[in-house]
Amino acid sequence: MLSRRHFLTGAASASLTLAKAAFKPSIAQPATTQARRLIVDSQIHMWPPNRPDRPWVAGAQPQIPEPFTIERVVPLIDEAGVARVVIVPPTLEGERIDYAQEAVRRYPGRFGIMARIALEKPDRAAQLTTWRQQQGVLGVRLNITAEQAHWLTDDTADWFWPAAEKAQIPIMFLTAGQTAEFGRIAERHPQLTLIIDHMGVSSATLRAGKLPEAVAQSAALAKYPNVSVKLSSVPLFSSEPYPWRDVTPHIRRLYDAFGPRRCHWGTDVTNSYAKATYRQRVTHFTEELAFLSEEDKDWIMGKSIIERLRWS
């Protein structure tokens, strides 16, 4: 495992400088600590209304009943002092990213996109060579359901890993309890950037009562330098009110395993929208986790994801 003290590179410093220069919030940040710290939400779903000329994917259900639009997101992140957001288009958008790209166009420097790809369709391989040339696109997000789990053990997805590694495409992924399968992928493709979503805990895993097992699978992948983890969606995993102390041991376990430079804060705000304010999701990490130093917070809250995604 790479040392926490030796992970910072000149490239990371350059990326951070560019990131700070690009951030021009529409209103002033309210907290001086947050004004000094680059804060990047590593996951937000955004989607427009379902309408005849732009329908949602048949059978897909949004995480909250109403659309989660650009107009709703920008005031939230402004008020909380969040500089940048990684948009993960929801499943109801299919493979289309035009709405996410609208956010990129309207707010230059503030939004990036982890676009979806049909993992079961090898003909998509040609797209990867120019993937990051699409406006705002930073990488790929994979959401592998229990019904699709066999893709990780048969030859369905074998085309994807070397193609993404060659094209230098970062991958965010979530499984229904199969995070351990990515150990083999990480070892065979050491130049492939792999980012575990939501501490490795899916909604299905949570319903099955297997949160500790899922976190353990994620922590086991820390031995691979090309793997990092998003400490996101915390309110969803808690049965307590803010500041969600019952999840702290799981956060601490992943922090100890990966170190702050391979941990990424994020909200996935719509997956637990009624359980917490957006600002609470920020202050949970900046104010409530006593084991984090101020330098740790700098990395976890923004610097680490900027570096991992090569987001200039």
CATH (domain of 221): 3.20.20.140
Task: Give the per-residue pLDDT at 182.
Answer: 98
The tokens for 285 are 């990490």
Q: What is the pTM of this model?
A: 0.88
Round to whole Å and give the CA distance between 189 and 167: 12
Task: Give the per-residue pLDDT at 35.
Answer: 52
Residue 13 has pLDDT above 70, yes or no: no
Residue 206 has pLDDT above 80, yes or no: yes
- Which residues in 100-138 are b (16+ Cβ under 10 Å) and which e? bbbbbeebebbbbbbbbbebeeeebbebbeebbeeebbb
Task: Give the per-residue pLDDT at 25.
Answer: 42
Q: Which tens digits make up the pLDDT trace of 58-108?
A: 988 999 999 999 999 999 999 999 999 999 999 999 999 999 999 999 999
- Domain hosting 271: range is 4-49+56-309
Residue 112 has pLDDT above 50, yes or no: yes
Round to whole Å and give the CA distance between 254 and 188: 23
Q: How many domains does the chain have?
A: 1
Q: Return the DSSP state at 141.
A: E
CB 250 within 8 A of CB 212: yes
Round to whole Å and give the CA distance between 208 and 204: 6
pLDDT band at 36 (very low <50, low <70, confident <90, very high): confident
Instruction: Give which of 191, 180, 115 is closest to 149, Cα–Cα.
Output: 180
| CA pseudo-torsion sign 219, 225, 231, 236 | negative
pLDDT, average across residues 17-26: 40
Round to whole Å and give the CA distance between 115 and 154: 24
Mean pLDDT of the chain: 90
